[in-house]
Amino acid sequence: MILDPNLLTQLAPLDLKARTIVEGFISGLHRSPFHGFSVEFAEHRPYNKGDDFKHIDWKVYGKTERFYVKRYEAETNLRAHIVLDISSSMYFRHFAEWSKLRYAIHYAASLIYMMHRQRDACGLVLFDEEVEEQFPAKSSYSHVRMLYSELEKRLEDEQKKSFEKRASASANALHQLAENLKRRSLVVILTDLFENVGSHEALISSIRHLRHQKHEVLLFNVLEHKSERQLDFPDGKFLFEDMETGSELEVIPAQVKADYQQKVNEYTQQFKIACSEAGADFEEIDTQSPFDLALLAYLNKRKKLN
């Protein structure tokens, strides 16, 4: 289900937007056993031979004509930390309705909504050159409300364009996080990877650090694909500005497009391989696309951890 960003922007508060995104996603899952009636999917699992009949949810059977067993906290509990890049480059948008930061905030809010419905403990980490804010993983409703409130503040900053130029140093933040997290968790990273290419080896090292500490890692590369991957600009000369340093470069995209695409594709593939070798899952999120693939990637990752 493709949701109109303008419609979502009009909705308030953020938890309502998150619920709208998630329920739209669930309704589009054709094979979901709970198609059409709720997002309670995480609280059940298919009946397996040998399961006690007293745990069957007969209300669900009445709606699906299939046997599903109620899942309890011991079966569903997961500790997760959403790690959100709030550096200056995340404020970028050209073709998309939303900046990378606005898109990532709504995706983070959707994950929080899903995690809370699944009785998972959810934490939030905000970083640029270092960890700026860190909220522990908890599952209480009051804690979830506090996380939404923090993300709302970041949305307000994004809307006002009120930000100082802050570089991204993902590796520093993740090394810091690896030292701070004391219990095994799922770490979901939302970043545009907008940093010096030479720093990416340090980023892989920080992912290895998290994996060494027994954490699971799911890395989402948030980007505007049409501009940042395809360099698909109209004919003419453009002045590009580095949003983190302010440096400028005048370019005729048509003259460098083919070479640019080749180098970006080669490097992205190398980075994906490096993530895989480090034991991390890597996904790209296009800010001009619906949230469906990103949400599905999260559910697939979570399913592996059950």
Q: Do residues 158 and 14 make contact, with C-beta atoms less than 8 angstroms apart?
A: no
Q: Say if residue 167 is in the same domain as residue 194.
A: yes
Determine, yes or no, domain membership for 6: no
pLDDT tens digits along 157-187: 888 765 666 667 788 899 999 999 989 999 9
Determine, yes or no, domain membership for 9: no
**Interstrand relation of 44-46 and 68-70 (parallel, antiparallel or unpaired):** antiparallel
Considering the chain, what percentage of its residues have pLDDT values greater than 90?
51
Q: Can you tell me the distance from the alpha carbon of 255 to that of 246, in angstroms, rounded to the nearest whole number?
A: 23
Give CA angle at 112 (121, 153), nearest 5°. Answer: 115
Q: Say if residue 110 is in the same domain as residue 52.
A: no
Determine, yes or no, domain membership for 219: yes
Q: Can you tell me the distance from the alpha carbon of 35 to that of 235, in angstroms, rounded to the nearest whole number?
A: 46
Last residue of a domain, one of 46, 76, 106: 76
Total domains present in the chain:
2
Q: Say if residue 150 is in the same domain as residue 40.
A: no
Determine, yes or no, domain membership for 14: no
Domain containing residue 45: 31-76
Q: Say if residue 130 is in the same domain as residue 259.
A: yes
Predicted model pTM? 0.82
CA distances from 197 to 59, 86, 194, 201, 220 (A): 54, 19, 8, 8, 17
Q: Say if residue 46 is in the same domain as residue 151.
A: no
* Ramachandran angles phi, psi of 282, nearest 5°: -125, 130
pLDDT value at position 12?
73
CA distances from 67 to 32, 37, 70, 118, 306 (A): 14, 16, 10, 19, 20
The b/e string for 64-93 (b: 16+ C-beta within 10 A; e otherwise) is: beebbbebeeeebebbbbbbbbbbbbbbbb
Q: Do residues 176 and 129 make contact, with C-beta atoms less than 8 angstroms apart?
A: no
Q: Do residues 170 and 203 make contact, with C-beta atoms less than 8 angstroms apart?
A: yes
Q: Say if residue 269 is in the same domain as residue 179.
A: yes
**Continuous H helices in the chain:** 5-10, 14-27, 58-64, 73-76, 100-117, 141-160, 170-180, 200-212, 225-228, 253-278, 292-305
Determine, yes or no, domain membership for 5: no
Determine, yes or no, domain membership for 140: yes
Q: What is the CATH number of the domain that holds 153?
A: 3.40.50.410
Residue whose tokens read 């506090």: 146
Q: What sign does the CA torsion over 208, 121, 302, 109 have? A: negative
- Of 111, 86, 80, 83, the closest CA to residue 17 belongs to 111
pLDDT value at position 62?
76
CA distances from 267 to 133, 189, 200 (A): 31, 19, 10
Determine, yes or no, domain membership for 23: no
Q: Say if residue 118 is in the same domain as residue 156.
A: yes
Last residue of a domain, one of 76, 101, 131: 76
Residues of the chain with pLDDT under 70: 1-7, 9-11, 29-45, 52, 54, 70-76, 161-167, 195-198, 306
Q: What sign does the CA torsion over 256, 97, 186, 213 have? A: positive
Determine, yes or no, domain membership for 24: no
